[in-house]
Structure 1
């Protein structure tokens, strides 16, 4: 199976803000960024999957209009009560323990990286049974990191230090 992992383009004014499953706007440069992404893709996919959040959905509709399979399991990690808060405003008593063990600990009313891993791998197992051939997955950095960690045998606690994923980046991986 040939897999194209595609991160959404840059969100508008989110630097320093904690966001995961919040539906945020994209930069005004979306069209130019999307063109760069599309230039890196092969002409046709057997299947296209996407997070339903608008920052992914807009790009997915350009890849293959009206034939995208949206799945909530492809959403970014849920930061719970931290969503849309400046990172600097999150109480250190909550943030520091999570920073030390983000794999197992979750923000209040949110999910841990292990929770994200479980839901993404559940989705991935279903995709593999479909045997779709060449696929595009338009999603978020956390989801891409979890998948690449799985494909490459990288421990989850190293996926942020060992795997970098920029806005609008396309990572191609052959699996199976």
Structure 2
């Protein structure tokens, strides 16, 4: 186990129309909307401000379209070749199973008992239809973190950020499952500490 990890500059993908509508995206491949593209550019500018030698960082993204678009826009915004980054399948968002495409309001109306079970333990709850819990996601992404060898920009998803905060910073699973993960900002994880820029 690595005792001290390199610094992680985590960026959640920019907004999509499904984010705007409050729909569960999970592993559905939804593109950025216009605001999402602006947020990606903004994240690039913030990154350049806090990491002036950003050309020396490693860059890794989830293979989803919204994360690749975000990565390519932010790299272009800081003067780097848009496509020069690595994809890692393990960084894909958790899946909400048969709930994907629904809003939470629709989930609570269609399956009130299951929605209530999830509210009681968001971290460990596995949605129906092949869903994935935050605990399962954490097991999937832990190896990504264990093998980072240099300061790295990671563009991924809200669920992945929550799992990172639990693994790297010791945020409790209850707190991590409910944290806001901002679009257009940079979550800097240094050692056991984290801050938003």
Task: Indicate the residue corresponding to 2:125 in structure 1.
Answer: 105
CA-atom RMSD, angstroms? 1.8
The answer on whether the counterparts of 1:50 and 1:71 sit within 8 Å (CA) in structure 2 is yes
Task: Indicate the residue corresponding to 2:104 in structure 1.
Answer: 87
Residues 31 and 3 (structure 1), Cα distance of their counterparts in 2 relative to 1, 3 Å cut: same
Tell me the distance in 1 between the aligned counterparts of 2:36 and 2:22. Answer: 20
Would you say 1:24 and 2:52 are equivalent positions?
no
Structure 1 stretches lacking a partner, 5+ long = none
Task: Indicate the residue corresponding to 1:170 in structure 2.
Answer: 186
The answer on whether the counterparts of 1:104 and 1:112 sit within 8 Å (CA) in structure 2 is yes
Task: Indicate the residue corresponding to 1:50 in structure 2.
Answer: 61
Structure 2 stretches lacking a partner, 5+ long = 1-5, 76-80, 193-197
Higher relative contact order structure (alpha carbons within 8 Å, sequence separation ≥ 6): 1
Give the TM-score normalised by structure 1: 0.88
Would you say 1:141 and 2:161 are equivalent positions?
no
Tell me the distance in 1 between the aligned counterparts of 2:101 and 2:28. Answer: 7
Would you say 1:123 and 2:134 are equivalent positions?
no
Tell me the distance in 1 between the aligned counterparts of 2:164 and 2:146. Answer: 11
Q: How many residues align?
A: 171
Give the TM-score normalised by structure 2: 0.79
Would you say 1:8 and 2:19 are equivalent positions?
no
Deviation track 1:129-175 (CA, whole Å, cap 9, x = no partner) reads xx1x22100011111111122222112122134x3211122011223
